[in-house]
Amino acid sequence: MILVFGKTGQVAHALQARAPEARYLSREQADLSDPEACAEAIHTARPAAVINAAAYTNVDGAESEADSAQLTNGTSPGAIARACATLSIPLVHISTDYVFDGSGEAPWTPGDATAPLGAYGRSKLAGEEAIRASGCAHVILRTSWVFSAHGANFVKTMLRLSKSHDSLRIVTDQIGGPTPAGAIAETCLRLVEALRDGQEGGTYHYAGAPAISWECFARETFMAAGHDVEVTGIPTSDYPTPARRPLNSRLDCTALETDFGIPQPAWKPALIQIVKELIS
Distances (CA, A) of 182 to 146, 159, 214: 9, 19, 20
Give the number of other Cβ atoms within 10 Å of residue 279's Cβ.
Answer: 12
3-state secondary structure of 42: helix
Is 204 among the catalytic positions? no
Distances (CA, A) of 113 to 100, 106, 108, 110, 116: 7, 13, 9, 9, 10
* Rounded-to-integer distance, Cα 190 and Cα 39, Å: 24
**Residue 173: Cβ-neighbour burial (10 angstroms; 0-12, 13-18, 19+):** middle
CB within 8 A of 173, min separation 6: which ones? Answer: 213, 235, 236, 247
* Rounded-to-integer distance, Cα 96 and Cα 275, Å: 24
| The one catalytic residue among 120, 204, 206, 239 | 120
Closest CA to 178 of 144, 206, 154, 224: 144
**For residues 197 and 204, is the Cβ–Cβ distance under 8 A?**
no
Distances (CA, A) of 164 to 3, 171, 181, 278: 41, 19, 27, 16
* Rounded-to-integer distance, Cα 7 and Cα 20, Å: 11
Residues marked as catalytic? 120
